[in-house]
A and B are shown apart, each in its own frame.
Chain A
Amino acid sequence: MFYKNIHIRIKLVFVGIILLFFLIIFKVFYIQVFNYKKLNKLADLLWNRNLPIEADRGKIYDSKGVVLADNKTTVSLVLIPNQIKDKEKTAKELSNILNTSYKDMLAHVSKKTSIERVHPEGRRLSFDIADKINSLKLDGVYLVKESKRFYPNDKMLAHTLGYVGIDNQGLSGLELMYDKYLTGEYGAIKYISDAKGGKLELEETYLEPQDGMNLTLTINAELQKVLEREIDNAWGKYNPDQAIGIIMNPNNGEILAITARPNFSPSNYQKYNVEELNRNLPIWATYEPGSTFKIITLATALDENLIDLENDHYYDSGRISVENARIKCWKAGGHGEETFLQVVENSCNPGFVVMGQKIGKEKLFEYIKKFGFGNKTGVDLNGEAKGILFNLDKVGPVELATTSFGQGVSVTPIQQITAVSAAINGGILYKPYIVKSINEPETNTVIKQNSPKIVRKVISESTSEKVRYALESVVTNGTGRNAFIDGYRVGGKTGTAQKVKDGHYMSGNYIVSFMGFMPANKPEIVVYVAIDNAKGITQYGGTIAAPIVRNILKDSIDILNIKKPSGASEKNYNFNEKKYVTVPNVVGKTLKEAITELKPFKVEYSGAGNSVIYQTPKSGERIYEGEVVKLMLK
């Protein structure tokens, strides 16, 4: 009985102990099941270390697939100090290979950090140095891939593309605007670490880096090269303060080429000052457009049926009085009796003042705004300006008069080319754009696509046709003759604008420009070039900018495959100008016959015999009279 009580109590204690063991087992179960997620996540954070692997930045292509911004892959040295057991030996070996001081390297190797980059000596290593380091097989010494931005065409399109910083982050231009698309995702070598940072030989996973998205632009690299070349030539020839060039497809607002001077080399952007780097002049610069703006006045007057180009006349005495001001024509003594077509051809200021007076300030400013002036075009580039227009309440007769020929308004080059595109494409204002699509790098799946966006209809199709006709006349008969390309239909308008400084016009300091397009009957390309303060030459748009645009248009024939039209207008020659003559076919003829037929040209021949077997240029080509035609005889 007495023992029995003791035994009961022992059994009671035993039951208590069993219950406590069950409690412990249940707690373990609870930890493993209910706390699993949290603990696993935290423990992973504790154990896992990442050795980052850089992804390639997305490439930037032109519309034909030419690479404009590329990557160069290099390797960089990464140290994990906790894994380096023999610090002295490692530091010695590395400093020998990298040719750096042992002391610095020892500091890197001994640094209390999980991952140490040896900057800058250990970054962007050459292949044989990387190979040497690799062959040593040192603990805690890793070589990881690094990707460096590379611009194959150096300065070409610099402002638009922008540049990247040392960590491949976009700092300006498209590189900045589309940084989140272009930036890839880091990959990593993941490994399990001990509490001292050492690597556990348990498992190692490789997480592939995700390359950034590719950009495809509306830019045509060939046209861009042509534009850059021409602007470079002008830059060298005239030593101007600034130069601007834009090429656009007038039928959809695609920017085909765009450039500015001064420009910079994106790989060495640190060497340039902030203004040179950040001012993308074609969208940032605002200035008085001068005569190119007359296209707008002309389009307005035609759209409102206020003038008849061929039948309405105006007598230009060389000046016109508006209120108390006298506005002079650029030609001393004036142009005399003119049709309005001739007013346009001659870029006659008083004639445009009359046009403006017929339109009236409300209508003129309504059209100016409809053409997109006074507002940003919304082009997908950073740093666009919107320009300045007169406040309508403050527009008196003088302001109306000057606005008619492009003074007293402040506009950007992109606004001008966009507005002129609308004036000549049938009257539709498009929103200009430069990024065509964003593509996933591996599958090339389109992530985002930009398509032409119509802003509004500005003028009628028939008005636009008249504008094209008038502007073609400018090139064939008028101030734009220097842009004439024989056998093709070119339209255009010159511009010479005085620059304003501190509220006054500067003397002898102009922005000369030319707006040209082709073919004049059905434009496929518009080119705008502006040269700011050309030196050592009389500053007229017709003499400086028109030849540049001509060269660009000429090269674009092959690039854009522009067909030779049948009804090209013949150029009206000045007395001192050389004429174009078509070369006749002389192959098969005798030398004598050939010389007679080739009268307008200089004939050179080679070979013995009397019969022509080969001629260059070939028949049907047009060259200036007096140029050489070579013949081969047999």
Chain B
Amino acid sequence: MRKFDKTLFITVILASIFGIIMIYSASNIWAEYKFNDQFKFVKHQLLFFILGIFLMIIISKIDYKKIYDNSNKLLLAIIVLLILVLIPGIGTVRNGSRSWFGIGPLGIQPSEAAKLILIIYASKYLSLNQKNIKKLKECVLPILGVTMFIFLLIMLQPDFGTGVIIVMSIIGLLFVAGANLKFFIKLGLIGVAGIIGLIIMAPYRLKRIISFINPWSDPLGSGFQIIQSLYAIGPSGLFGYGFLNSRQKHFYLPEPQTDFIFSIIAEEFGFMGIIIVSTLFLIIIYKGFKIAINSQDLFRKYLAFGITFELSFQAILNLMVVVGLIPVTGVTLPFFSYGGSSLLITLCSMGILLNISRNSS
């Protein structure tokens, strides 16, 4: 067995530490105001970070076959958990979504784990059904069925952002595996039709879409977060106001340590902050894809790609929202946004990537 990819490992550690530092800077005012403890959020996140690093190293060292063998069981377990979390009394509601198992002050989000587990499952499924990949009924539809089932469970919480990431990750996997392109085009059309249908069902979604083009059309409603984000990014210049000197974190940007933490990074570190964050992500993504290409068998190739693709998609989705390129979707930024389960699962998936890197050629 060879050693794992050191560059990836270090980049992951750097991104996580930068993330924790920024969670402190973004959250200290809110934490002090709400809980009289400016370290409230950062302590919580640090706990998950340590646990996550520990898990990442363990996972990087185990035999990958254990993952392969247990993927069905894992899928079954997560489906059970996704159903359980919907039951009032078991799952708890935060920010309008019943997505958490509350354990004391900590919360565990099964949907975060679902993202990784579904990729593991799909990778195994696709590696076993490679010869049928062009056949819609035999190969593509069953895995899409499973995906849509999990998507539905997550939408019941509801958690639109996570749902979209899961669906898109599987579609990405199908594309790389060689599924018929025409099928994706049809799928895209269905998607567009679906979005139009959703808008017709609830016109407030149209308002959301318009508000990202001109957030000042509804400055106190749907455009609010985007405007506050632009106020953070716009005036900060090349180097920003400096660490801890964000103004928008002073109650202007609601919960700045979560979805919009990138605004605070841009505000405090300016354009350079954006370059640094983008570079960290691009190194991880590059390494991830390289590991996928270099891996010897189909399962690990798909798994490495799927994990990397999911990470990229989620990061891009978050960044595009924050800079006002797409409407607000409620997706966090991996490594940076506050959220224990998210960090834990991200680090676990990085552990898998590192594990695969040991066996690549």
Residues of chain A whose beta carbon lies under 8 Å from any beta carbon of chain B: 3, 5-7, 9-11, 13-14, 17-18, 20-21, 23-25, 27-29, 31-32, 35-36, 38-40, 42-43, 46-47, 192, 194-196, 198, 200, 202
Contacts and interface: CB of A to CB of B under 8 A. Distances in A.
A23 B325 CA distance: 9
A198 B32 CA distance: 14
Nearest to A24: B319
B230 to A, nearest CB: 6
B165 interface: no
Given A7-B293, A14-B285, A196-B251, A36 B325 contact: no
Contacts of B271: 28-29, 32
A30 to B, nearest CB: 9
A194 B252 contact: yes
Contact of B177 (A6, A14, A38, A47): A6
A25 B177 CA distance: 30
B286 interface: yes
Interface of B is mostly: helix
B140 to A, nearest CB: 15
Given A21-B281, A43-B235, A196-B251, A13 B176 contact: yes
B276 to A, nearest CB: 11
Given A28-B274, A32-B234, A46-B252, A10 B286 contact: no
A194 to B, nearest CB: 3
B305 interface: yes
Interface residues of B, number: 41
Contact of A47 (B247, B293, B305, B319): B247
B235 A192 contact: no
Contacts of A39: 230-231, 233-235
Nearest to B286: A14
Contacts of B161: none
List 7 tightest A-B contacts by C-beta distance, closest first. Answer: A39-B234, A194-B250, A195-B251, A43-B231, A27-B323, A195-B252, A40-B235
B168 to A, nearest CB: 11
B38 interface: no
Contacts of A192: 247
Contacts of A31: 230, 233-234, 323-324
Given A23-B325, A28-B274, 7 more contacts: A6-B178, A21-B319, A25-B275, A39-B233, A196-B250, A200-B250, A202-B245
Interface in B306-340: 309, 312, 316, 319-320, 323-325
B246 to A, nearest CB: 10
Given A10-B292, A14-B286, A28 B266 contact: yes
Nearest to B234: A39
Nearest to B318: A24
Contact of A36 (B172, B235, B278, B286): B235
A247 to B, nearest CB: 62
Interface string B57-100: 00000000000000000000000000000000000000000000
6 contacts: A3-B301, A10-B293, A14-B285, A21-B319, A31-B233, A202-B247
A412 to B, nearest CB: 59
Nearest to A17: B312
Contacts of A3: 301
Contacts of B234: 31-32, 35-36, 38-40, 43
Given A17-B312, A31-B323, A10 B176 contact: yes
A10 B289 contact: yes
B237 interface: yes
B99 to A, nearest CB: 27
A14 B288 CA distance: 10
Nearest to A7: B293
Nearest to A198: B250
B282 interface: yes
Contact of A17 (B250, B251, B285): B285
Contacts of A43: 231, 234-235, 247
B357 interface: no
Contacts of B275: 25
Contact of B320 (A14, A24, A38): A24
B243 interface: no
B281 to A, nearest CB: 7
Given A32-B271, A39-B230, A195-B252, A21 B282 contact: yes
Contact of B176 (A9, A32, A47, A202): A9
Contacts of B231: 39, 42-43, 46
A195 B250 contact: yes
B54 interface: no
A27 B176 contact: no
Nearest to A38: B234
B257 to A, nearest CB: 16
Nearest to A8: B176
B35 interface: no
Contacts of A38: 234
A552 to B, nearest CB: 67
Contacts of B252: 46, 194-195
B27 interface: no
B315 to A, nearest CB: 9
Contacts of B230: 31, 35, 39
B23 to A, nearest CB: 19
A404 B312 CA distance: 105
B183 interface: no
Nearest to A197: B251
B236 interface: yes
B149 interface: no
Contacts of A9: 175-176, 178
B316 A24 contact: yes
Nearest to B230: A39
A31 B176 CA distance: 35
Interface in B159-207: 172, 175-178
A20 B250 contact: no
A570 B28 CA distance: 97
Given A17-B312, A21-B316, A27 B289 contact: no
Interface string B211-241: 0000000000000000000110111110000
Contacts of A5: 178
B251 A27 contact: no
A24 to B, nearest CB: 5
Given A24-B325, A28-B233, A32-B236, A13 B172 contact: yes
Contacts of B320: 20, 23-24
A40 to B, nearest CB: 4
B8 to A, nearest CB: 15
Contact of A20 (B172, B175, B245, B316): B316
Between B176, B281, B282, the greatest number of chain A beta carbons within 10 A of the residue's beta carbon is seen for B176
Interface in B260-281: 266, 270-271, 274-275, 278, 281
Given A31-B324, A198-B250, A17 B233 contact: no
Contacts of B278: 21, 24-25
A124 to B, nearest CB: 35
A232 to B, nearest CB: 63
Nearest to A194: B250
A411 B215 CA distance: 67
Nearest to A37: B234
Contacts of B235: 36, 39-40, 43
Contacts of A47: 247
Contacts of B301: 3, 6
Nearest to B231: A43
A534 B53 CA distance: 106
Contact of B289 (A11, A35, A202): A11
A27 B325 contact: yes
Contacts of B237: 32
A13 B175 contact: yes
Nearest to B235: A40
B9 to A, nearest CB: 20
A196 B275 CA distance: 32
B323 A28 contact: yes
B309 A13 contact: yes
A546 B282 CA distance: 102
